[in-house]
Structure 1
Amino acid sequence: MEGSAKRPRTRIQSEKRDVILDAALDIFSANGFRGSTVDQIAEAAGMSKPNLLYYFRGKEDIHESLIKQLLDTWLAPLREMDEQGDPMTEIRSYIRRKLEMARDFPRESRLFANEILQGAPRTMPILEEELKPLVDEKAAVIRDWSRAGRIAKVDPWHLIFSIWATTQHYADFDVQVRTVLGPDRGGDGRFEDAARFLEQLYLDGLRVRN
């Protein structure tokens, strides 16, 4: 009925949507948006195309749901940066959390990277309305730490960009990392090795020199 409240999803409906989104994450992260089809997603989800389209309007709807879900997860570590905390501790924690995400969510990282490489045609409003305000807010925190002499002078936006680049490399280029490190160093310990190196790189660079 027009104007009536939308009914909440049942448990079964929520579970089916989760199955579809997980299957779509596999397909989109491997093939990109343009190279993926609803038929591929339906097959990966183990259901018919008409059944899938009962839960989502189409490929764009599935992709948008994944990106929104991903960005909420992706931005959580930055949201947790506490302006009242010790700057070195907060930045170290941020680096650690971003590496943990590279380890635990490689498909999500590739999905986001594919979207950005295409010019963010489906996610620009999200970037403008959610990502930019949060980055600006935390950049202001880092700038205040720098002005107060608690860390070295630094461009806070480029600091955040560089942390993104160095941590997400371990998700987006994982095959390359493991191949170059070889069997002795390319196991799960590579993330701890990366964390120690990046902490040294950033924290030494941000330390105030007397």
Structure 2
Amino acid sequence: MAKAGSTSGPTRIQREKRKTIFEAALDVFSEKGLRGATLDQIADAAGISKQNIVYYFTGKEAIYSELLESLLEEWVSPLRDLSEDGDPLEEILIYVSRKMEMSREMPRESRLFATEILHGAPRLGNMLTDDLKTLVDEKAAVIANWMVEGRLATIDPHHLIFSIWAMTQHYADFDLQVQAVLGPVRSDTRFEDAEAFIKHMLVRTLHP
């Protein structure tokens, strides 16, 4: 929790300062993880003093926890928006598009979550088993109902969601590997090509 602020809420300058700290921390944490990161590195990346950061946050752990919590909601928003009232295939393909867009535009966030999970998710544990599980179960039930209605081929809906995560987030978490294998020419269109491939595969798999 930030130290600064009053009952009337943070000022514009305070909000901007916290945003600057979060942006710098995201760079540092996504590269070095929580253990490898230091307040000095975050201060250098933000272009402000370490003392200024301590004015807003008690330490790097506080920045990390608040950053993760705020990003998780944004990260799951495409799944939350999957609508049971829409066309099943169209809704799933829209979900793929939004996940690919996030992999292209938010690689630091993806790597931050991946690093947290690989370290046992000590700061996301409750959110994963409560909020995220509830959301995934809800959307898996929607997909399962589409399958019962004959609008999609019958497969495991949970593993369908996991597979979409794996296929799309790979292009954020392992982007250097993807570019190295594809080479400079094909790398220019790697996200567009990947999205087209994933959609083609899912259409063939899910068409009733």
Q: Normalising by structure 2, what TM-score?
A: 0.95
Matched residue of 1:132: which SS?
helix
CA distance in 2, matches of 1:79, 1:72: 9
Q: Give the equivalent residue in structure 1 for 2:195.
A: 195
User: How far apart in 1 are the matches of 2:39 and 2:184?
Assistant: 38
> Which runs of no fewer than 5 residues in structure 2 stay unpaired?
1-5
- The residue that corresponds to 1:27 in the other structure is 28
Cα deviation code 1:69-90 (max 9, x no counterpart): 2111111100110001000000
CA distance in 2, matches of 1:161, 1:58: 34
Write out per-residue CA displacement over residues 84-126 of structure 1, whole angstroms, 9 at most, x where no aligned residue.
1000000000011000000000000000000000010111122
Question: In 2, Cα distance between the equivalents of 1:75 and 1:166?
Answer: 16
Distance 2:43 2:129 in 1: 31
**Would you say 1:131 and 2:129 are equivalent positions?**
no
> Aligned letter for 1:15?
E
1:36 aligns with 2:44: no
SS at match of 2:121: coil
Q: How does 1:10-159 map to 2 (within 5 A)?
A: 10-159=11-160
Distance 2:63 2:117 in 1: 17
The offset of 1:179, in angstroms, is: 1.1
Q: What do residues 122-159 of structure 1 show as CA deviations (whole Å, max 9, x unaligned)?
A: 11122123211111110110010111111011111110
- Give the superposed CA RMSD: 1.0
* C-alpha distance in 1 between matches for 2:39 and 2:156: 43
Residue 180 of structure 1 corresponds to: 181
Worse-matched range after superposition: 141-150 or 119-128: 119-128
Q: State the AA in 2 paired with 1:140.
A: A
Aligned partners of 1:6, 1:38: CA distance in 2, in Å? 27
Which residue pairs with 2:3 in the alignment? none
Distance between the aligned counterparts of 2:139 and 2:21, measured in 1?
34
**Distance in structure 1 (CA, Å) of the matches to 2:96 and 2:144:** 18
One-letter amino acid of the counterpart of residue 204, structure 2: D
1:193 maps to a residue whose letter is: D
Q: Structure 1 vs Structure 2: percent identity of aligned residues?
A: 58
In 1, Cα distance between equivalents of 2:206 and 2:130 = 30
> 1:7 aligned to 2:38?
no
SS state of the match for residue 32, structure 1? helix
What SS does the corresponding residue of 1:7 show, helix, strand or coil?
A: coil
Aligned match of 2:204: 204
